[in-house]
Structure 1
């Protein structure tokens, strides 16, 4: 978030006295740090920043679908007075999240892993539940307070290792975490709201199994962020299954909708995984086909790419690098604004060239309460932009990372390899099985490699041994 915005929001939120208000869901008195109007204002401030960070996924039909379902569900929620907005952001991470005031986001990564409308509707209700029960207002306050003191020092504390997921899966998404009681309440609300608009809420429970399998497939370090702070998925499955049956009886819903084929047809052609045009890593080199540059990244470092920046971090959390666009009409202005923006004091700066491009290299410090942060920054003039590559570590560790930072920054160059420039993303393709067989065989018939069979079984919400009847639609991958 922009520093001025953070400062203004902190002042408006934390200078006010604690006050009690009635929770719209429970009817009980809660201690809240912000009024509804402040909550709405906070959401309006956060929304453009979230869109800028991740970008919107360009699929008008799918965006229209989630907006229509979202508005229908919002109308039966406990806070139908809010002006809700529902958006798909262009990220392969499996996640859905909400911010105060009625803003709900789904990544294309989670949309790819739903296998019917009912699964989507359950998670949609869960996220609306965070808003109606005011979980997001409470957590966003904590998030802003935390982020306000972060800047460069955030991931350089002795406990940096805990932020490894944030580097690999998206800092903004993972800041929005709730306690387990809040998650259980939102599960209950997801069941209630999705049932109210006619869907079979049992399907949300089935989706938890997909998430659990994704967790097992990738290991704990690559835990889907929608799962990361939630109750145990096995417990959630049992609880939500029971709640769904109770809610059906309560609402006398006799024809609960699932709508599998309709949903699969909607996501046919969706980008799956990383989109190369936004940048990709191969053999420890980051390539950006649209902006036509490349540079080496340290081997075995985690990285996270977004439209605004590329973050790279050592697995032990002792250092990081960030690539962004630098402000300023020329290199000198960019250097000055970089120092001011991050409250840095330069100890050395010089004009250099990087593979024929004019650049400024500078070493600068930021004083933290308990330590000094030292940075090496290369500001590189290329095409119509100035790129900032900043390496960050503790001052007493800087000499250990200086050469690694420098080598990466000096490798920045024009990308001219046609194969990299024209790299196409994988896309979900929906095919119809011609004859009854196992999912394993159906995937093999569609040229899914052996090493990826389990990945696609999870993507389809099935086991490889499951029987697939003729006429069944399944997800495979194509270009």
Structure 2
């Protein structure tokens, strides 16, 4: 080993020796980042997250969530941080935290919570990840494995060693893991109790999320599909079915409880009145095999049986076996280029074959094939100063020859919204009603506009899954 190698290895060993006292637990953790670096990292990540996760437009709801989050955060071990709580305009069941106190909760998760205390529990869990610096530990461990791989490569001359340790490091730090999730639950429960909420709400949230997993599995079984694992923070991996470990971490929090604890069920439900359920007008609405976007004023159709994925940056259709995909994205056309010229510009130096002009519902477009393995169907449709770019691609045993007719079917379905379609572009929304004497979930489901298994979905929304029934006078969420 040369002097240069010894110097490099010495730097590595110095980096690997970084430790700090965890502000939430008092334990010494391996970290390679100062608090200021953590705050800077959070700010940078936040800018990217904002681009990928649109903010929900209801500022009254945003202010309410910020208020509850701040109350919990002030009772935390790192109350000095400037916490920002944001409701993301997404139907996903999710919440997450960035380093430095940037916390996001999707409106899809809000719809299934049933009280202010449960909202505080979710936010408290995410605050727990921030106060315990879990993301910093995760980042530091990942960096350490990468550095160690470089050191091995220097010392042995075997470059593959770096790849091996990268793989090991990725496996070691993937997700937060059971211990970190339980630690975040324990810390969140402490913060709930200190801020006046019942820490039992943490258990209630776990029940809500487990019901989500069971519901998803039941629905997949009805469709004859395999249910993907995971969910919000890998719920089943974190909490045993009997929640024994969760009960244990909540013990110290319960000791902090003094007097009546805040639940605020009705106040919370009032803030959910009118909340979009599923897709929103701002992101476009899926109905059956059609997609409608009120703000952009277009509609699009997909073949029977195809899945539709609605993302902030794209609408994606795919075959049931996921061997063929077509994605549509919105493109700027500030220069006012003709569709054929814009498509050639986007394709760069790539050759286009079988070009064809499109004229559909008063809109001009152009489509072609990009040869290759696999070949791709591409198209541009102009609408005002905007252009919509389509890319269809296959994988596995599928080929463009077998799927091109369907790709063209999707492209040629694009048109401006009609007057009748504008109503279809409006999202379903949550509304609150009081249960009447003898009223059943089956009866409520008959009046619902939910497209699939309305009764099961309404039970899930109201924490009555799979067979519960409401009591007279209970506030219930319905979807209209």
What range describes the TM-score normalised by the shorter chain of this pair?
0.7 to 0.9
C-alpha deviation, 1:288, in angstroms: 2.2
Q: Which residue of 1 aligns with 2:92?
A: 93
Cα deviations across residues 156-203 of structure 1 (Å, max 9, x unaligned)? xxxxxxxxxxxxxxxxxxxx9432222222222221221221111212
Residue of structure 1 equivalent to 2:346: 338
CA deviation digits over 1:323-348, x for unaligned, max 9? 111244224674466346xxx84454
Instruction: Tell me what 1:8 maps to.
Output: none
1:401, 1:77 → 2: CA distance?
58
Q: Aligned partners of 2:236, 2:465: CA distance in 1, in Å?
A: 24
2:254 corresponds to which of 224, 248, 255: 248
Q: Is the 8 A contact 2:239 2:246 kept in 1?
A: no
Give the number of aligned pairs. Answer: 423
**CA shift digits 1:309-364 (9 cap, x unpaired):** 21333444434222111244224674466346xxx844548462242533343444
Deviations 1:221-263 (A, max 9, x none): 37783154553655374433443343121x2423222121221
User: What is the match of residue 161 of structure 1?
Assistant: none
Range with greater deviation from structure 2 (209-218 or 17-26): 17-26
SS at match of 1:57: coil
Query: Which deviates the most, 414-423 or 224-233?
Result: 224-233
Query: Residue 476 of structure 2: which of 457, 470, 474 is its match?
Result: 474
Alignment of 1:45-444 (within 5 A): 45-137=44-136, 177-219=175-217, 221=227, 225-226=231-232, 228=234, 230-231=236-237, 233=239, 235=241, 237-249=243-255, 251-275=256-280, 278-328=283-333, 329=335, 330=337, 331=339, 334-335=342-343, 338-339=346-347, 345-346=350-351, 348=353, 350=355, 352-355=357-360, 357-364=363-370, 374-394=375-395, 398-400=399-401, 402-404=403-405, 406-423=407-424, 424-435=426-437, 437=438, 440=441, 443=444
**Structure 1's 227 and 453: CA in aligned 2 closer, same or farther, altered over 3 A?**
farther
- The answer for the alignment partner of 1:4 in structure 2 is none
Shift of 1:388: 0.9
Q: 1:48 to 1:230 in 2, by over 3 A?
A: farther
Alpha-carbon RMSD: 3.6
1:108 Cα deviation after fit: 1.0
Structure 1 runs not aligned, ≥5 long: 1-13, 145-175, 367-371
How far 1:465 moved relative to its partner? 5.9
SS of residue matched to 1:392: strand
CA contact (8 A) 1:446 1:476 kept: no
**For 1:142 and 1:339, how far apart are their aligned partners in 2?**
41
Q: Compute the displacement of 1:83 (Å).
A: 2.1
Distance of 1:302 and 1:34 partners within structure 2 = 43
How far off its partner does 1:48 sit?
3.8
Counterpart position of 2:222: none
1:97 deviates by: 1.3
8 Å contact from structure 1 (residues 379, 386) kept in 2: yes
- CA apart distance, 1:390: 1.2
Q: Residue 267 of structure 1 contacts residue 428 of structure 1 at CA under 8 Å; is this kept in 2? A: yes
User: Which has the higher mean CA deviation after the structures are superposed, 99-108 or 442-451?
Assistant: 442-451
* Whole-angstrom CA distance in 2 between matches of 1:136 and 1:53: 20
Deviation at 1:415, TM superposition (A): 3.2
8 A Cα contact 1:310 1:324, kept in partner: yes
Assess, with a 3 A threshold, how the Cα gap between structure 1 residues 439 and 43 changes in structure 2: closer, same or farther: farther
Aligned CA distance change for structure 1 residues 204 and 107 (closer, same or farther; 3 Å): same
Are the equivalent residues in 2 in contact too, given 1:438–1:465 (CA < 8 A)? no
Q: TM-score, normalised by structure 2?
A: 0.76
Q: In structure 2, what is the Cα distance between the partners aligned to 1:336 and 1:441? A: 55
Q: CA deviation at 1:104?
A: 0.8
CA distance in 2, matches of 1:323, 1:448: 28
Secondary structure in structure 2 of the residue aligned to 1:325: strand
- Per-residue deviation, 1:111: 0.8
The Cα offsets for residues 112-138 of structure 1, whole Å up to 9 and x where unpaired, read as: 111111111111111112222233346
When Rg is computed on C-alpha atoms for both structures, the one with the higher figure is: 2
Give the Cα separation in 2 of the matches to 1:416 and 1:327: 20
Moved over 6 A (4+): 140-144, 444-450
**TM-aligned CA distance change 1:438 to 1:243, over 3 Å:** farther
Structure 2 CA distance for partners of 1:387 and 1:207, relative to 1, 3 Å? same
